[in-house]
A = this chain, B = another copy of it.
Amino acid sequence: MKFRVWAPRAQTVDLHVGGQARAMTRDDGGWWSAEVAGAAHGADYAFALDGGGPLPDPRSPWQPFGVHGFSRLLDHSRFPWTDSGWRPPPLASGIIYELHIGTFTPHGTFDSAIERLGHLKRLGVTHVELMPVAEFSGNWGWGYDGVDLYAPHHAYGGPDALKRFIDACHACGLAALLDVVYNHLGPAGNYLGRFGPYFSERSAGLWGQAVNLDGPGSDEVRRFLCDNALMWLRDYHFDGLRLDAVHAIFDASALHFLEQLAGEVKELEAALGRQLALIAESDLNDPRLVTPREAGGYGLDAQWNDDFHHALHAVLTGERNGYYADFGSLADLAYALQNAFVYDGRFSVFRKRRHGRKPEGLPGWRFVGFLQNHDQVGNRAKGERSSQMMSLAQLKTGAALVLCSAFIPLLFQGEEYGATTPFLYFTNHDEDLGRSVSEGRRREFAAFGWNPAEIPDPQDPATFQRSKLDWKEMEREPHAGILEWHRRLIELRKSAPELTDGRLDRVRVEFCEDAKKLTLCRGRVAVACNFSGAPAIITTDGSHPMTDP
C-alpha cells in the first residue's frame, strides 16, 4: 500500500501505521509518499508533520474515531454493489426529497434510513438528497461543519453503510444526491491548514476563513475539492451533488472553480455512462451558474431558487422581517413563478442595492423550488416548520404551487405529512466550542428580541432528539391527509407533461392582489389559490376574471 499526502511546507512527514512511525519521502509538488507492504483495508494511520503529533489524513476515507482520531484505510473495490446498469431519472423532471440522516429515523444511521425508502418510493419522489455526511465534530450535527471531506460520518455508519444506502436507493429506483460544503470547513478538527495553504486570508463570512482557490498553492486545493466531488460520484455511486453556499466560494481565476468542477464532472459522466448532476445553493441570483459553459456560464445543472421560497412564504405567513421585507405581494409570487427570480436587477430594500439578473432563455428546471428546506426551518429560533405557521389550507396551497411550478420541486423530510416535530439547530461539539456555539445562538436571537431562555440549546442532546421525525404521526389526521395531498400532487406532476415543461414563457399566472386570489395555469392544469381566508369563486377559463373579482 502506498500512502501519499500533500504537505508542501513540511520539512519532515512521518507516517504512523501499525504501531510504528516511519519517515515519508518527499516527491514532486509538495507531496510525500511511503510504501508499506503490510498495510491494507482497515488499517489505521495518521501523518505527523515536522515531529508533531499524529494528525488525520486530509483525504481520510474513514474516521472511525471522529475528527481528532486516526484515519482508516478503505478499499473502495471491496463493496458488493448490486446497481450495475443503474441510470438515474432525469433531474429536469425529478422531485427531490432532502433528508438529514441523523434525524430521519430514530437510529439516525444510513442503515436505518434504508428501511424508510419504501415510504419515499410510495410518496413518489425521484431524488433523495442527503444533508452533508462528511465527518464533522461530535456524534450529531447538521453536517455543515465537516472537516474530513472524504469520510462519511462514523456515527451514521461510515463508508460501507453509506454505500449500502445508495445501493438500496438505486434498487428501488431512487437517485441519490449529496450536499457538499466547499466554501469553508468546520471549526473543530480542521487540521488542513497545518498541511498546506488550504485557506486564504479572505473571510467566508460567519463561517471562518475562505478556501484558497486562487492564491499560491491553490491548484492542489482545487484538486482536493474536485477529487472529493469525483469520489462521491464515482466511488459512492451518488447521482449528483448539492453545492452549499457557492456565493461564499471566492475565486478570481479565469477558470472559476465551479466551471472547472462542472467540466470534470461532465467528463466523469461520459466515462461512467450515467447522468451526474450539480446543483448550487446561491445567494447571487446569477444565471451564469446554470448557463451552459459554451455560452460563457459555469455549466451547473440547477440552482436553488430562494426568491420563489421567500415570495411564497411571505404570502402564506404574512411574515415581513429580515429578507422577507423584500416580498409579500401576489405580484412577487406571480413574477417568481414566471421568471424564477423576483430580484433580477430590481432594487432590494433588504440588500440596499439592485440585486440579481434575468435568467433569460433558461428553462424552469434550472431552478429548485421549495416551500421548506433545512435552512428555512432550522434557522428559525424554534425550528418551526411551515405546518406550525400555516393553516391546513395554506399548507396545501403552498404544496400545490411548489409541485405544479416549472421548478424542480424539493421537499424537506417530514414536510410531506406536515410533521409537528421541529428541525432545530443542534451540535455535539467539545465543551469549549459547544459553549461558544450555544451562547452565540442565544445572542443571535436575543438581538431579534427573543428571550434567550426560550432558545433551544444546540448542545443539549434533547435538542437533537426532539428534531427526529415521529414516523407514527403520518398515520393520524391531519397528517395522513397531508401525505395523501403530496402523494397525489406528485402523481399529477408525473402524469401531466405540461408540469415538467421548462419553458417559463408558457407559465400563465393571473392574480388579484386585493382579493388575494392567484391562479397558476400550465396547459390543462390550473392551480387556483385563495389566500383570502374566506370562501371565493375562482374561474380559470383564461378570460382573466380575477382582475375584476
Chain B residues near A355 (CB, 8 Å)?
253-254
Contact of A218 among B247, B291, B295, B353 (CB under 8 A): B353
Chain B residues near A285 (CB, 8 Å)?
254
Q: A284 contacts the other chain (Cβ, under 8 Å)?
A: yes
Chain B residues near A215 (CB, 8 Å)?
352-353
Using CB atoms, name the residue of chain B closest to A247.
B252
- Asked if B252 and A284 sit within 8 Å, CB to CB, the answer is yes
- Asked if B255 and A357 sit within 8 Å, CB to CB, the answer is yes
Q: How far is the CA of A33 from the CA of B236 in the complex (A)?
A: 64
- Shortest distance from the beta carbon of A8 to any chain B beta carbon, whole Å: 9
Using CB atoms, name the residue of chain B closest to A218.
B353
- Asked if B287 and A353 sit within 8 Å, CB to CB, the answer is no
Q: How far is the CA of A56 from the CA of B218 in the complex (A)?
A: 44
Q: How far is the CA of A296 from the CA of B291 in the complex (A)?
A: 9
| Overall SS of chain A's interface | loop
Q: A347 contacts the other chain (Cβ, under 8 Å)?
A: yes
- Asked if B255 and A352 sit within 8 Å, CB to CB, the answer is no
Using CB atoms, name the residue of chain B closest to A259.
B357
- Asked if B254 and A216 sit within 8 Å, CB to CB, the answer is no
- Asked if A254 and B297 sit within 8 Å, CB to CB, the answer is no
- Asked if B284 and A254 sit within 8 Å, CB to CB, the answer is yes
Chain B residues near A68 (CB, 8 Å)?
none
Chain B residues near A252 (CB, 8 Å)?
247, 284
Q: A345 contacts the other chain (Cβ, under 8 Å)?
A: yes
Interface string of A447-475 (1 = CB under 8 A from B): 00000000000000000000000000000
Q: A435 contacts the other chain (Cβ, under 8 Å)?
A: no
Interface string of A326-346 (1 = CB under 8 A from B): 000000000000000000010
- Asked if A254 and B217 sit within 8 Å, CB to CB, the answer is no
- Shortest distance from the beta carbon of A366 to any chain B beta carbon, whole Å: 14
Q: A219 contacts the other chain (Cβ, under 8 Å)?
A: yes
Contacts known (A291-B296, A295-B296, A296-B297); A286 close to B219, Cβ less than 8 A: no
- Asked if A352 and B216 sit within 8 Å, CB to CB, the answer is yes
- Asked if B296 and A217 sit within 8 Å, CB to CB, the answer is no
Q: A354 contacts the other chain (Cβ, under 8 Å)?
A: yes
- Asked if B218 and A254 sit within 8 Å, CB to CB, the answer is no
- Asked if B254 and A356 sit within 8 Å, CB to CB, the answer is yes
Chain B residues near A351 (CB, 8 Å)?
216
Q: How large is the interface on A (under 10, 10 to 19, 20 to 34, 35 or more residues)?
A: 20 to 34
Chain B residues near A295 (CB, 8 Å)?
295-296
Using CB atoms, name the residue of chain B closest to A216.
B352
Interface string of A251-277 (1 = CB under 8 A from B): 011110000000000000000000000
Pick from A254, A288, A345, A354 the residue with the most CB of B within 10 Å: A254
- Asked if B296 and A288 sit within 8 Å, CB to CB, the answer is yes
- Shortest distance from the beta carbon of A99 to any chain B beta carbon, whole Å: 31
Q: A160 contacts the other chain (Cβ, under 8 Å)?
A: no
Q: How far is the CA of A217 from the CA of B352 in the complex (A)?
A: 5
Using CB atoms, name the residue of chain B closest to A292.
B296
- Asked if B286 and A254 sit within 8 Å, CB to CB, the answer is yes
Q: How far is the CA of A297 from the CA of B295 in the complex (A)?
A: 9
Chain B residues near A352 (CB, 8 Å)?
215-217
Q: How far is the CA of A288 from the CA of B296 in the complex (A)?
A: 8
- Shortest distance from the beta carbon of A349 to any chain B beta carbon, whole Å: 10
Q: A214 contacts the other chain (Cβ, under 8 Å)?
A: yes
Chain B residues near A255 (CB, 8 Å)?
345, 357
Chain B residues near A218 (CB, 8 Å)?
353
Interface string of A233-256 (1 = CB under 8 A from B): 000000000000001000011110
Chain B residues near A254 (CB, 8 Å)?
284-288, 345, 355-357
- Shortest distance from the beta carbon of A275 to any chain B beta carbon, whole Å: 24
Contacts known (A254-B288, A345-B255); A353 close to B219, Cβ less than 8 A: yes
Q: Can you list 28 residue pairs at the A/B interface with Cβ under 8 Å?
A: A214-B353, A215-B352, A215-B353, A216-B352, A216-B353, A217-B352, A217-B353, A219-B353, A219-B354, A247-B252, A252-B284, A253-B284, A253-B286, A254-B284, A254-B285, A254-B287, A254-B288, A254-B355, A254-B356, A254-B357, A255-B345, A255-B357, A288-B296, A291-B296, A295-B295, A295-B296, A296-B296, A296-B297
Q: Top 9 nearest A-B pairs by Cβ distance?
A: A296-B296, A216-B352, A254-B357, A254-B286, A218-B353, A219-B353, A254-B356, A219-B354, A255-B357
Q: A219-B353, A247-B252, A254-B284 are in contact. List 5 more A-B contacts (CB 8 A).
A: A215-B353, A218-B353, A254-B355, A288-B296, A296-B296
